[in-house]
Structure 1
Amino acid sequence: MLNDPRSHGLWERTAPPAPVTTPLKENITADVVIVGGGYTGLSAALHLAERGTNVVLLEAAEIGFGGAGRNVGLINAGMWVMPDDFPKELGEHYGERALELLGNGPYLVRELIEKHDIACELETNGTLHCAVGAEGMKELEERARQWQKRGAPLTVLDAAETERRIGTKAYAGSLLDMRAGTLQPLAYARGLAHAAIKAGAKLHTGSPVISTGEVGGKRIVSTAQGEVSADWVIVATDAYSTGPWAQVRREQVHLPYFNLATKPLSANLRRSILPNCEGCWDTKEVLSSFRMDQAGRLVFGSVGALRGTGTAVHKAWARRSLKRLFPQLGEVEFEAEWYGKIGMTDNALPRFHRFGTNVIGFSGYNGRGISPGSTFGKVLANYILGDIAEADLPLPLTEVQEARFRPMKEAYYEAGAQIAHFATERF
């Protein structure tokens, strides 16, 4: 996108076309104006439009331009934090409610894909959280225990079963989550956009918001060439926030994350590497993730940015890692490379904010955008429609607080990933 092959890589090359959209060039009215064309904004637009609401969505660049079009494509349940930490962080009132909602989030994603016939390479054979050593296995066993006491369909697999499913001897075991799966993330975002337009929503791309205000009890959202007057504003810009809601970005520490895609593997290799197409990631602090796309490309990623010296360092590390994990691959050739930013909050949990009268938004998905974004978009729609009260929301209302030492931490993460990848996986 925007003539940058490293922004969306494989996903832009293989996703169905986005709907035809244009910049906002007039002054219009709406019931709700949504700022941001990622999963949250698109889900909210779709659910509102299906109920007859006059919805306008403004996207600064293109549909799925932010994290929605760049991520690995794992449809995860819950968040990074342990289940028992939800009530500790959010309080009992919100903690278990948020955990249940996010735990069931992948089912909503499947429902939307089926209902709207979205072609996005959906795979529903689960995900595998892979244990690195005994400590990694201990972590997964505890995570399983906490989810299982809540009735979630998680299973701890031993090393032999993990090897059979993945095709590598590298892991001490894994945690299989059958709620989860994989998809083509940009294709899913574009599919939601098509569905929202079909339901009656108006989508405008190339329309960054430059100012916002209030006139006569209406919220005014302005772009360079037009404005929307609405009763409600949904802020769905998250880690890529700029303009009037740049504080949402400043509340999060950006963690860079890259992906590399191999050329399609042979049929023989596909029988030995992820034959059931589970999505995988490991328990390392500087984690790795991998999954297969429908054409048989192995998509491999980790923390880091593909720019400057990082490009050569991370690609060399990826080749070494894949050689260790899957020696049957031989010499690896990558046909696509891309990276983006994960917005991390201080407790690795999302936020609910009110930015003014009838101006609201969820943010801070911490690398788990597909399911939470789809879910919270629906929640925002239900809240605006009056189906639920504020006390029924899954998160408490909080003030925006800038992350401490944010620039320093972001520089540390990018440089630290290079150092870690330069030094590891050497034979």
Structure 2
Amino acid sequence: MSGLGNLWRDSAAESFAAPPLRGERSVDLAIIGAGFTGLSAALHAAGQGADVTVLEADTVGEGGSGRNVGLVNAGLWLPPDDVCKIIGNQQGEHLNRVLAEAPTQVFDLIERHKIACEPTRAGTLHLAHAPAAIAQLQSRLAQLSARGAPVRLLNAAETAQRLGTERFHGALHDARAGTIQPLAYARGLARAAREAGAMLHEQTPVTAAERRTGQWIITTPGGKLRARTLLIATNAYHRPVTHVTRPDIPIVQYFQIATAPIGDNLGGDILAGGEGCWDTGLVMTSVRRDQAGRVILGGMGGDVDLHANWARRKLARLFPRLANAEIAHAWAGRIAMTHDHLPRILRMGQGALAIFGYSGRGIGPGTVFGHAAAHALLSGDETDLPVPVVDQHTEHFVTLKSMYYEAGARMVHLAAARL
């Protein structure tokens, strides 16, 4: 299955291409990384009249932004009370409020810039994979309802009607959320940023970045930028840059398979309302559909062949009539997972920030963090950032944790194969 390729690359209605950087240029803001964070920052910086340039080592959306599930969630993987326990009530509630509005910002950008990315704001379903998981959903319901979120707990029968399978025991519906074609969204942001005046360069890896004479000197194989400010937005796809050390973060691999388009005879009742889903399992599973009717199922793990075999069986258990459905795509991506599952904004020197650690929630947080970072860097005012800037960040046992996540996914999926 590893040769089937990434669905989002084959189905994106938005296209984008940019030449490598050649020569030298002076800018207000240099951005390393053309994913959701960097592109959102570029769009908003250019909209403020700043001279901004984005440098991408590969192509727009090549990293997690073009490989994820495409769920536009409100909030983080963590429940909001846990966010407050970790970083304090004032800062936690600020982050909760900012991310509660993230889907609105995403869908507003899509509408404003006419981004052809299959936007569907029908909400998401957080699925109870076992009877005991209902208590977890009830706790989230109470926490979110107390903050005014439009959430509702569905019983098993309502969940089966929405999802098209009786394999789950209930679900928490969040009406704020939705789904998109993620790579098309990234390319649309890139197009909008360029239309606003930003310069973007693909196939332009940054080899060095150094603060000298009051500015950042950023070196690439074919050129050089002199920048007043710098944003490093590489997240789980960071590459070493001489003179700049961003801490390593544990990596979680996540894979997906997608069927060929399925007509109403086979798939008419599978997520007929257009929601995207993920479950409460420790080794999480996701399921959604796209506008062409494909069923897309994902789970933790990086070995596409090994995990996709499990996913094929899982798909058949959830939807028996899809047991012989053609699997047309299979791909994987990387998630940067901090030890407490909270994103970080790290100071990399005077006038420079790095953002990382969305822990699987890249679309909404990336969009709002990028916007806020552009404002903070250009204005010098950091008060409206979603989380406070930290001067250092350390993750322990990074390699071991990454191996642990992958081994755990393998064990669960191999055990499931014997059932």
Q: Is the 2:276–2:289 contact (alpha carbons within 8 Å) kept by the matching residues of 1?
A: yes
Alpha carbons of 1:28 and 1:69: their partners in 2 closer, same or farther (altered >3 Å)? same
Of the three residues 379, 396, 399, the one matched with 2:372 is: 379
Greater CA deviation, 128-137 or 103-112? 128-137
Of the three residues 388, 412, 415, the one matched with 1:396 is: 388
Report 1:251-290 matches (<5 A).
251-290=248-287
Of the three residues 160, 166, 175, the one matched with 2:172 is: 175
Amino acid at match of 1:184: Q
Structure 1 distance, partners of 2:71, 2:247, is: 26
Alpha carbons of 1:389 and 1:245: their partners in 2 closer, same or farther (altered >3 Å)? farther
Q: Is the 2:217–2:225 contact (alpha carbons within 8 Å) kept by the matching residues of 1?
A: yes
Structure 2 distance, partners of 1:93, 1:58, is: 35
**Is 2:292 the partner of 1:299?**
no
Aligned to 1:414: 406
Q: CA deviation at 1:133?
A: 2.0
Q: Is the 1:249–1:343 contact (alpha carbons within 8 Å) kept by the matching residues of 2?
A: no
Alpha carbons of 1:426 and 1:96: their partners in 2 closer, same or farther (altered >3 Å)? same
Structure 2 distance, partners of 1:5, 1:316, is: 11
Amino acid at match of 1:340: G
Amino acid at match of 1:131: A
**SS of residue paired to 2:172:** strand
1:220-267 per-position Cα deviation (integer Å, ceiling 9, x unaligned): 111111110011101111111112289877442101100000011122
**Is 2:104 the partner of 1:101?**
no
Of the three residues 303, 327, 341, the one matched with 1:348 is: 341
Count of residue correspondences: 419
Amino acid at match of 1:360: L
Of the three residues 329, 332, 337, the one matched with 1:339 is: 332
Q: What TM-score do the two structures reach when normalised by structure 1?
A: 0.94
Greater CA deviation, 129-138 or 175-184? 129-138
Greater CA deviation, 359-368 or 312-321? 312-321
Structure 2 distance, partners of 1:284, 1:250, is: 29
Alpha carbons of 1:28 and 1:99: their partners in 2 closer, same or farther (altered >3 Å)? same
Alpha carbons of 1:365 and 1:246: their partners in 2 closer, same or farther (altered >3 Å)? farther
**SS of residue paired to 2:268:** helix
Q: CA RMSD in A?
A: 1.9
Aligned to 2:238: 241
Amino acid at match of 1:348: H
1:386-419 per-position Cα deviation (integer Å, ceiling 9, x unaligned): 3x83233221222443421111221222232122
Q: Is the 1:320–1:426 contact (alpha carbons within 8 Å) kept by the matching residues of 2?
A: no
Amino acid at match of 1:405: F
Q: Is the 1:314–1:421 contact (alpha carbons within 8 Å) kept by the matching residues of 2?
A: yes
Alpha carbons of 1:178 and 1:86: their partners in 2 closer, same or farther (altered >3 Å)? same
Structure 2 distance, partners of 1:62, 1:393, is: 28
Aligned to 1:140: 137
Amino acid at match of 1:423: A
Q: Is the 1:303–1:417 contact (alpha carbons within 8 Å) kept by the matching residues of 2?
A: yes
**Is 2:41 the partner of 1:44?**
yes
Structure 2 distance, partners of 1:48, 1:393, is: 15
**Is 2:75 the partner of 1:83?**
no
Q: What TM-score do the two structures reach when normalised by structure 2?
A: 0.96
**Is 2:58 the partner of 1:61?**
yes
Alpha carbons of 1:6 and 1:356: their partners in 2 closer, same or farther (altered >3 Å)? farther
Aligned to 1:209: 206
Q: Is the 2:19–2:203 contact (alpha carbons within 8 Å) kept by the matching residues of 1?
A: yes
Amino acid at match of 1:417: A
Structure 2 distance, partners of 1:383, 1:369, is: 20
Alpha carbons of 1:24 and 1:5: their partners in 2 closer, same or farther (altered >3 Å)? farther
Q: CA deviation at 1:6?
A: 6.0
Structure 1 distance, partners of 2:139, 2:344, is: 26
Aligned to 1:363: 356
Q: Is the 2:2–2:305 contact (alpha carbons within 8 Å) kept by the matching residues of 1?
A: no
Unmatched segments (≥5 aa) in structure 1: none
Structure 2 distance, partners of 1:186, 1:418, is: 27
Structure 2 distance, partners of 1:272, 1:398, is: 48
1:36-89 per-position Cα deviation (integer Å, ceiling 9, x unaligned): 100000001001111111111101110001100000100011111110112211
1:310-366 per-position Cα deviation (integer Å, ceiling 9, x unaligned): x44322211221121111223232101100111100100000111000011321110
Structure 1 distance, partners of 2:394, 2:266, is: 47
Q: CA deviation at 1:129?
A: 0.3
**Is 2:314 the partner of 1:321?**
yes
Aligned to 2:181: 184
Q: CA deviation at 1:216?
A: 2.0
Q: Is the 1:7–1:340 contact (alpha carbons within 8 Å) kept by the matching residues of 2?
A: no
Structure 2 distance, partners of 1:49, 1:268, is: 48
Structure 2 distance, partners of 1:45, 1:79, is: 23
Structure 2 distance, partners of 1:396, 1:109, is: 22
Aligned to 1:166: 163
Of the three residues 10, 20, 24, the one matched with 2:21 is: 24
Structure 2 distance, partners of 1:393, 1:78, is: 15
Structure 1 distance, partners of 2:244, 2:161, is: 46
